[in-house]
Structure 1
Amino acid sequence: MYAILDIETTGGKYNEEGITEIAIYKFDGHKIVDQFCSLVNPERKIQPFVVNLTGINNEMLRNAPKFYEIAKRVIEITEGCIIVAHNAKFDNRILTTEFDRLGYDFDKSTLCTVELSKDLIPDMPSYSLGKLVRSLGIPITDRHRAQGDAKATVELFKMLLQKDVNKEIIQASVRKDPKRHLDTKLLDIIASAPSETGVYYMHKEDGTIIYIGKSKNIKKRLTQHFTSDNRKSKKIQLEVATVTFELTGNELIALLKESEEIKTNKPIYNRALRKTLFQYQLASFKDDEGYINLKIEKAHKEKKPITTFTNYQKAKSALFAITEKYNLCQKLTGLHKTSGNCFNYTVQNCEGACIQREASEDYNVRVQLFLDDNSYEKQHMLIVDRGRDVDERSVILIENGNYKGFGFYNLNYQINNPEVLKSIITPMSNNRDAQHIIQSYLKKRRVLKIIPLATDTVN
């Protein structure tokens, strides 16, 4: 749990500043679960430059509560939380100093979104809150007021969590607040899990990730893990201390995140998925007579596949279905090894390309139809689908047929502006598994929309 906050102060000498406004959003890593915002009477004068910056003056604070009057609420809303702020060292010092004046030991772990942003979103022109969120297409209102800045920090932190593919933030959080998890029972973990689509991460007490999975219903899937009596599940049940999760809004991004992060984090109980799953691929070539042939071959990172398969038998079964659907020749798809006509020609289900009775131009039209339906090679497009909230959308970026990554947005401006689009996209690996996941998903399921992009839009 996180307490994302922003504090405005009077300015003045070090450790003599007073709080003039405070805003705190309690955030569970996915949504805001509580919030508190208040002006504060600092019982001292505000520096003129601060008045000009924030618009908060001494007259506005005359009837505002003093800090000791809101201290209990601050303690309540930050209980069990890690403090998150843009320049957390400053905000935490100010808050700790105020509690020191009351004789209360306010001791919290912190995460700084300035430092996190520099690590996870390098090479930005500025890391000041206002300039950074504007560069990322995050709306911000009431700049230099606690509520506006804190809300923008929430949205920034959401994006940072999304970009943290190595799960360093989550693992650090688990380590910083272990008491929340040491005595947690499996039923408590299940009870706190959402019945929504996403990726879940099982941690040991030290924060280490031991298993990553995806599900359209995380709560239901965890119940299966924790009630199973197979050998692996029993080991997980003994070692797991807590489960964190990331909602994705749709299954496609959950599949992509699961595949990518298992390869990145290499959890001990995900051995089967650490390596590339898809060992065979479908390729095409033109023969000496000008016919486009299809063939199954071992997957190779240097060769661009039409689509990929986990094993040879699945590839062969799929190729039989393709041959039938597009009325192709079994000889030219490698399914009937013969020097003469294929079997389908004998039963009048082939137009005779195998013995050049059908012109290559006519035959190739049907092969090309299959290729167009099943490959996005050299395409530039956005795959838009449901997001994590009602007013949010997810977007997957494909450049030149390569999977570049995904992101989430609320405003069409964010995907219509090339620079902002690049900022909100979390970069991902363009491997065979990702290609297969996207291709298979688009063939079997519907997404909200696919937006073709001009080449100069993404370059």
Structure 2
Amino acid sequence: MVDQFISLVNPERDIQPFVVNLTGINSKMLRNAPKFYEVAKRIVEITEDTILVAHNAQFDYRILKTEFKRLGFPFERETLCTVELAKDLIPDQKSYSLGKLVRSLGIPVTDRHRASGDALATVKLFKLLLNKDTTKTIIKDSIRKEPKFQMEPRLIDIVDQLPSITGVYYMHKEDGEIIYIGKSKNIKSRVNQHFTGITPKSKKMQSQVVAVTYEATGSELVALLKESEEIKRNKPILNRALRRSIFTHALYSFTDHNGYINLTIEKADGKQPCITTFSTRQSGRHFLEKMVEQYQLCQKLSGLYKTSSSCFHYEVKKCEGACIQKEPAETYNQRVQQLLDKYSYKNKNMVIIDRGREVDERSAILIQNGVFKGFGFFNLNYQINNLEILETIITPMENNRDQQHIIQSYLRKNKRLKIIQLQ
């Protein structure tokens, strides 16, 4: 038996502007439409002993279950999702949103984004999928009580339009407000993770985001710096909810009464000058352990081995004896100074060269007198070693502790970066 039921439903609330633009249905059109409880009995009758077929079945099924739950009725049906089926039976499609998928398959659609038009298009798509599944095993295996998560078509469309590049992305609500800013080496993949995530933050994004804009940076360092500044400037609600200081500890140095330079990892207070900063004490200690090995430093003078006599490394002949004043302070301090010079850009004039947005482009991050000034992009045909030329291409940015931490952390992790020292 074939039956049909089409009706507008009064949601008893105002229709959001983006829904009006998408469907053409406004609050005035729904004023005299039946409320859900008035059509609930008909929905139960027409779907009883049937399998609910829908494009992104989880979305439609969740709405029906929620509305019936408000009425105190346990609505349960077996479901089939044509998004899931299409991915199995027609792989490698550019998009699995209903509009783009049926267009690519030559299925005519009328009244797009209206229930009747979309339902008829889904019926035609389902018939095509039934024919594709010659053994009927795939469709049989896809029938389930709780549909698998499938991204909503509007979110699929957003992801489809994003590139797989490094940069900063902005998530907008329907009124244009930015509610989240992020950075990624692959914007498309990262946004897709947000839209398929199950965390409370991801679910808020899935329900509120109607557009994602982006800015290419090429360089991950530039993306990190821009993300940090943009979050401070825009204060997006979903960044504020989880925002914390990105560093907690720092590497400090001091000269003891015997004239030896000592190193220590302490909480970053922002008041005294530090060498470099870390997200946790553990990451700072791990860095210092590696530096002790690399520069043959004393464990005791690096704060890694508490003792009133010699350190453990001295006992196994890996320390020259600075811990017991056996190695002269002048000789020991030269090695410590090499470490300080490499990982601190205090009072330095330099340019960090990183990837650009195109193959023949590079990014330049300018440090002047130990202060981060900003970044810019230049063509590989130009020589970037003149401060006056650099200042013309640089976009000024604020120098703060977060930016210093980002740069120092990036320099530690990317040892092959090209750095030009300026006079």
Aligned equivalent of 1:168? none
Aligned equivalent of 1:163? none
Aligned equivalent of 1:241? 210
Distance 1:359 1:417, change over 3 A: closer
2:308 to 333, 336, 339: 339
Q: Is the 8 A contact 2:385 2:420 kept in 1?
A: no
TM-score, normalised relative to structure 2: 0.60
Bigger shift: 331-340 or 419-428? 419-428
Q: Does residue 1:262 correspond to 2:262, yes or no?
A: no
Matched residues, number:
272
Q: Distance in 2 between matches of 1:396 and 1:199?
A: 17
Deviations along 1:49-96, one digit per CA (max 9) or x if unpaired, are: xxxxxxxxxxxxxxxxxxxxxxxxxxxxxxxxxxxxxxxxxxxxxxxx
Deviations along 1:125-146, one digit per CA (max 9) or x if unpaired, are: xxxxxxxxxxxxxxxxxxxxxx
Q: Does residue 1:426 correspond to 2:395, yes or no?
A: yes
Offset of residue 437 of structure 1: 2.0
Q: Does residue 1:317 correspond to 2:293, yes or no?
A: no
Larger Rg: 2
Offset of residue 324 of structure 1: 2.1
Q: Is the 8 A contact 2:350 2:419 kept in 1?
A: yes
Distance 1:362 1:415, change over 3 A: closer
Offset of residue 197 of structure 1: 0.6
Distance 1:272 1:384, change over 3 A: farther
Superposed, 1:142-153 pairs within 5 Å as: none
1:382 to 344, 351, 369: 351
Aligned equivalent of 1:206? 175
Q: Distance in 1 between matches of 2:380 and 2:389?
A: 11
Distance 1:411 1:318, change over 3 A: closer
Structure 1 gap ranges (5+)? 1-182, 455-459
Aligned equivalent of 1:353? 322
Q: Distance in 1 between matches of 2:292 and 2:205?
A: 44
Distance 1:447 1:328, change over 3 A: closer
Q: Distance in 1 between matches of 2:195 and 2:294?
A: 43
Q: Distance in 2 between matches of 1:434 and 1:395?
A: 15
Q: Distance in 1 between matches of 2:241 and 2:288?
A: 26
Aligned equivalent of 2:299? 330
Q: Distance in 2 between matches of 1:304 and 1:278?
A: 15
Aligned equivalent of 2:360? 391
Q: Is the 8 A contact 2:387 2:422 kept in 1?
A: no
Distance 1:323 1:389, change over 3 A: same
Offset of residue 262 of structure 1: 1.6
Specify the SS of the correspondent of 1:190: helix
Aligned equivalent of 1:300? 269
Q: Is the 8 A contact 2:277 2:409 kept in 1?
A: no
Q: Distance in 1 between matches of 2:221 and 2:262?
A: 31
Offset of residue 448 of structure 1: 6.1
Q: Is the 8 A contact 1:263 1:274 kept in 2?
A: no
Q: Does residue 1:285 correspond to 2:254, yes or no?
A: yes
Specify the SS of the correspondent of 1:185: helix
Distance 1:336 1:446, change over 3 A: closer
Q: Distance in 1 between matches of 2:361 and 2:273?
A: 33
Bigger shift: 431-440 or 301-310? 431-440
Deviations along 1:118-173, one digit per CA (max 9) or x if unpaired, are: xxxxxxxxxxxxxxxxxxxxxxxxxxxxxxxxxxxxxxxxxxxxxxxxxxxxxxxx
Offset of residue 233 of structure 1: 0.1
Q: In structure 2, give the amino acid aligned to 1:246.
A: E
Q: Distance in 2 between matches of 1:202 and 1:396?
A: 26
Aligned-pair Cα RMSD in Å: 2.2
Aligned equivalent of 1:368? 337
Q: In structure 2, give the amino acid aligned to 1:217.
A: N
Aligned equivalent of 2:414? 445
Q: In structure 2, give the amino acid aligned to 1:214.
A: K
2:379 to 384, 405, 410: 410
Aligned equivalent of 1:252? 221
Superposed, 1:178-197 pairs within 5 Å as: 185-197=154-166
Q: Is the 8 A contact 1:202 1:240 kept in 2?
A: yes
Superposed, 1:160-179 pairs within 5 Å as: none
Q: Is the 8 A contact 1:383 1:447 kept in 2?
A: no
Q: Distance in 2 between matches of 1:214 and 1:355?
A: 49
Specify the SS of the correspondent of 2:181: strand
Q: In structure 2, give the amino acid aligned to 1:332.
A: L
Deviations along 1:326-385, one digit per CA (max 9) or x if unpaired, are: 211111111222222222223332211111111111111211121122122211011222
Distance 1:211 1:372, change over 3 A: same
